[in-house]
Amino acid sequence: MFAKRQSVLAAAAGAPPRARAKLNLKPVAAALKKPPVIAGLAGVFLLTTSALFLTVLGDPRAGTPSARIALQRDAAPEAAPPTGFEAFSMGAMALYQDLGDAGDPSGAAGGEAVITLPDGATVAGGASYSAPVHAASPLIKAPIAGLSQQGPNGALPVIAPDGRVPAQAYARPFRPNGKPRVALIVGGLGLNAVTTRAAIERLPAEVTLSFVPYAENLQSWIDQARAQGHEVMLEMPMEPTGYPNNDPGPYTLLANSTPDDVQAKMDWLLGRATGYFGVTNYLGDQFVASDTASGAYLSYLRQRGVAFVDDGTFQRRPGASARASADRIIDQTQSPAAIIAALNSLEAQAKVRGSALGTGFSYPVTVEAAARWTAGLEQRGLQLAPASAMTLRPGR
């Protein structure tokens, strides 16, 4: 193989050089004349030119002034919650500027609402009117010695050795003046700080306040209410129609409960705080239908000297250390006009029967309507009384 390759190279070494072939450019020229090729070459030329321009001259915006800003937003300082007076009378609740105007066929001159009362008197509403913040008339600080004992979940009310009962000791003192009496309970308190503070500050001390047992800082709320002068109650969640889809919350008293079940749940509920003169129901139309469960409930309250004031659901159930049933729920329709109408009806009933008791929830509209309505009761010939003054006690 190696010898044959050498002989070939040697033979080629002495041969004259071959003539070089001529380059034929005619096919290339013909191709360049086609429009697609021309367009493609133009694009390549443009890109090449741009790249060369940037390479030689640099970024044309390089000399333009620029700045970078960090878009980090500082947290807004947390505002202090408004007092009840600020929330309800300084414009934060604009809804109530027309309180009483809806449905009033007389209208209101100058944009002011006019609340017409059963005896023909009127109370001006609108922006120029606001019920006052009442001066405090403190009740005795809770707990009162001898009226509680330690239970499995907190202090429980008891009857003192000298016969004193929480139903009387924690009630607001009341002295009748001979006028028809009207009482009001505002419940659902402790869950919303603004409405709770508004109820404590805006409503007269004679209005009874009812607190939810699940509220945080429950004892603090009760202490604040009593320091302002309000007697207080606790709400007992009870089985309603539609339970458990309609659920009042944990520790609900059920219609099928045994007396031991009722006591165990009430030990937790009553042990949440101290300083209440009585309790009230939250729902419970199914619970009250059970003789066994409702009987055990009332018996347990009687043993502990605690009053029971219901919203009308238990009207035919006697018992407890002191008892009363509300004549009317004032805010089943949550509008200013409807609530004022219900309060007017309550007032008229008190004038006919000598006394009347209403109850409502702490909707802002309820608190504001009640604050305005109570402002003129004395001038209209009635006496505002705490709910405890409406209770009947054994032997009384």
Looking at the predicted structure, is the pLDDT value of residue 378 above 60? yes
Q: 34 pLDDT band (50/70/90 cuts)?
A: low
CA distance 336 to 284: 27
364-374 and 193-202 helices, crossing angle to 10°: 0
**Which of 301, 280, 299, 288 shows the shortest CA–CA distance to 390?**
280
In contact, 176 and 192? CB cutoff 8 Å: no
Looking at residue 274, the DSSP 8-state letter turns out to be S
Confidence at residue 14, expressed as pLDDT on a 0 to 100 scale: 39
**Amino acid symbol at 128:** S
Q: Give every CB contact of residue 280 below 8 A, 6+ residues apart in sequence.
A: 185, 187, 210, 233, 234, 235, 236, 308, 309, 310, 311, 359
Residue by residue, DSSP assigns 131-191 as PPPPPP-PPPPSSPTTSEEE-SSSEEE---TTS--HHHHTSPP----SSPEEEEEEEEETS
pLDDT of 15 reads: 41
Report residue 139: phi and psi, to 5°.
-95, 170
What is the per-residue pLDDT across 239-271, written as a single tens digit (0 to 9) for each?
Answer: 999 999 999 999 999 999 999 999 999 999 999
**Residue 177: how many CB atoms within 10 A of its CB?**
9
The region of weakest confidence among 85-94, 252-261, 328-337 is 85-94
Do 234 and 276 meet the contact criterion of CB atoms below 8 Å apart? yes
* Model pTM above 0.75: no
Side-chain half-sphere exposure of 117, counting CA atoms within 13 A: 23
CA 361 – CA 347 distance, rounded (Å): 18
Residue 317's pLDDT is 77
| Cβ–Cβ under 8 Å, residues 323 and 306 | no
Report strand pairing: 232-238 vs 208-211: parallel
Q: What is the mean pLDDT of residues 288-313?
A: 95
Q: Which amino acid is at 302?
A: R
| Secondary structure letter of residue 394 according to DSSP | T
121, pLDDT greater than 60:
no
What is the mean pLDDT of the segment spanning 276-304?
Answer: 96
193 neighbors 201 (Cβ within 8 angstroms): no
Structural domains in the chain plus CATH codes: 144-390 (3.20.20.370)
Instruction: Name the one residue in this structure whose structure tokens are 């700045």.
Output: 67
Token reading at 396: 């009384």
In this structure, the dihedral spanned by the alpha carbons of residues 245, 246, 250 and 253, taken in order and rounded to 10 degrees, is -110
CB 369, CB 167: distance < 8 Å: no
Distance CA 328, CA 345 (A): 9
